[in-house]
Amino acid sequence: MRPVYRHGMKIFAPKETDPIETRASLDPAAVKKLVGLGAEVVVESGLGDRCDHPDSSYEEAGATVTSDGNGALSSADIVTRIRKPSDEQVAKLKEGAIHISFLDPFNEKDLLGKFADQKSTAISLEMVPRTTLAQKMDAISSQANLAGYVSVIVAANRMNGIFPMMMTPAGTISPAKVFVVGIGVAGLQAIATAKRLGARVTAFDVREEALEQAESLGAKALRIDLGETGGTDQGYAKELTPEQLEKQRQAQAKVCAQSDVVITTAKVFGRKPPVLIKKDVVDNMQPGSVVVDLAAETGGNVEGVTPGEETETENGVKLVGLANFEGQVSKHASQVLAANFANMIEHFWDEESKAFKIDLEDEIQQGCVITHDGAIVHERFKD
């Protein structure tokens, strides 16, 4: 039997409520694309205030701008949101509504239950599979790439020195030494950015292929014999044993002590990030050196870093634990994030019925649809 779809799907982009969030889930270009598919797009007034998109630019792209966020939320067929919603926001969704956002599903069991109770379909951006087909909707990557760029710009800005080598009549200034730990999407962009600014870069990752990628960008790879490390079928690293972690920390200590900037980006999918740099190593760094921890918001790679804050140790090392690094370049972060949302909706758009088609047999949806039709349907979170 052919499934029956509702017509005239209404897509709603609420303004983010977390004060730290500067990005918008839709930008005018994404609105244009969605309107072109035949959807009705509604955005909450002020959606783009912090990423240079005034309400008028959304209207010009074909959206309706509303000040009644709650009303729009409870009548929407699809909601695009960046940060996970509150219980109250979930309770406003109508039955069958599709809610797409970051969800932190490994740590938000209760929230998943709320979505199921509400009979709405929760799609988690973290769970979009790392496949070629799904790359265009991979928000983790689009944002990590920009966070990697920002980490270097912030470090360069906090340093009292410069990145490039300069040979001047008054003498030669040596290039900054940058150490990047974790060479995934963010780490690779950090390496590329630091190289562009003229730094000398060393990098480490538990995955050999990542070390080779770092070398191809001109970085020096730090090789530590940790024995078996391996990765998942999605390209993610596996968690190290406590012994392996200790060995890594010891081997990194000397590089940290000699670096002007240390940038950490190491994450292990579905787990707290590993602590890779302990206090004794930070205590051995030179005064004025800068540590930027991109994992700070989710637990941190560096001991002593405060999430969301910049602090300085007694020996004059600056510790940067900002949250939402990509939010510092909110216009471009919103551009690529909004494209991820629009690409996902377009990919699953049924031309005939002008609706987002839920198909739990589809490989991408099997990866990222968490709740549907009153139940938690994702294999990993069912129990």
CB of 183 to ligand NAD, least distance (A): 5
CB of 144 to ligand NAD, least distance (A): 5
Per the annotation, the verdict on 236 as an active-site residue is: yes
- Give Cα separations from 173 to 54, 163, 168, 169, 287 (angstroms): 44, 9, 8, 11, 17
- Give Cα separations from 247 to 224, 225, 241, 315 (angstroms): 8, 9, 10, 25
Per the annotation, the verdict on 260 as an active-site residue is: no
Of 14 and 129, nearer to ligand NAD (C-beta) is 129
The 3-class secondary structure across 39-97, one letter per residue, is: CEEEEECCCCCCCCCCHHHHHHHCCEEECCHHHHHHHCCEEECCCCCCHHHHHCCCCCC
**Count of residues making up the chain:** 383
Of 99 and 207, nearer to ligand NAD (C-beta) is 207
HSE-up (13 A, CA, CB side) for residue 20: 11
Of 272 and 354, nearer to ligand NAD (C-beta) is 272
Give residue number: closest CB to ligand NAD.
184
Of 205 and 260, nearer to ligand NAD (C-beta) is 205
Q: Say which residue the tokens 């897509």 belong to.
A: 11
Choosing from 45, 135, 328, 366, the catalytic residue is: 135
- Alpha-carbon gap, residue 25 to 138, rounded angstroms: 14
Structural tokens at position 194: 């630091």
Choosing from 27, 77, 138, 293, the catalytic residue is: 138
CB of 156 to ligand NAD, least distance (A): 21
CB of 138 to ligand NAD, least distance (A): 5
Choosing from 141, 244, 328, 353, the catalytic residue is: 141
- Alpha-carbon gap, residue 162 to 164, rounded angstroms: 6
Strand 220-221 versus strand 64-66 pairing type = unpaired
- Alpha-carbon gap, residue 44 to 105, rounded angstroms: 26
Q: Give residue 348's identity as a one-letter amino acid code.
A: F
CB of 302 to ligand NAD, least distance (A): 12
Choosing from 236, 244, 350, 366, the catalytic residue is: 236
Residues 6+ positions from 242 with CB-CB distance below 8 Å: none
Binding site for ligand NAD (CB under 6 A): 130-131, 135, 138, 140-141, 144, 181-187, 204-207, 210, 235-237, 240, 248, 265-269, 274, 276
Of 249 and 378, nearer to ligand NAD (C-beta) is 249
Is 330:47 a contact under the CB 8 Å cutoff? no
CB of 262 to ligand NAD, least distance (A): 12
- Alpha-carbon gap, residue 121 to 97, rounded angstroms: 6
Of 14 and 184, nearer to ligand NAD (C-beta) is 184
Q: Say which residue the tokens 């024995």 belong to.
A: 227
Choosing from 130, 244, 328, 350, the catalytic residue is: 130
Give the other-Cβ count within 10 Å of 6's Cβ: 12
CB of 123 to ligand NAD, least distance (A): 17
Per the annotation, the verdict on 23 as an active-site residue is: no
Of 73 and 211, nearer to ligand NAD (C-beta) is 211
Just list the catalytic residues: 130, 135, 138, 141, 236
